[in-house]
Amino acid sequence: MTEEEKERNVIVCRCEEITMGEIRDWIARGYDTFDELKHILRVGMGPCQGRGCREIILREIAKMKNVPITQVDPGTFRPPSKPVKLELLAKKEGGE
């Protein structure tokens, strides 16, 4: 495997098993915000909710767009910040 292939094969989002190569390809196609990548690849939608991959992806976006990381939108944060069983939520609302 070449150095480049090795680098492309690094798993960035472990929850959803998304590689650096996939992320770079989609940024090149114009999906150059965290939320767009999240919609298309599910990065940051697993159990860790982006705590492992967000920073790496934001750096990659900054690098490929040639902008400082301070200007890269980190995307939307919605509750809950860790998985909750639907059963528990349904029970609490008193319904089925």
Site for other proteins in 53-72 (CB under 8 A): 55-56, 69-72
Helix %, strand %, coil % of the chain (to 5): 45, 5, 50
Q: Residue from 30, 80, 94, 95 that binds other proteins (CB under 8 A)?
A: 80
Q: Residue from 6, 29, 39, 63 that binds other proteins (CB under 8 A)?
A: 6
| Dihedral of the alpha carbons of 21, 67, 71, 53, in degrees to the nearest 10 | 20
* 12 forms part of the interface with other proteins (CB under 8 A): yes
* 29 forms part of the interface with other proteins (CB under 8 A): no
Q: Residue from 7, 39, 40, 63 that binds other proteins (CB under 8 A)?
A: 7
- Residues 6 or more apart in contact with residue 36 via CB below 8 angstroms: 26
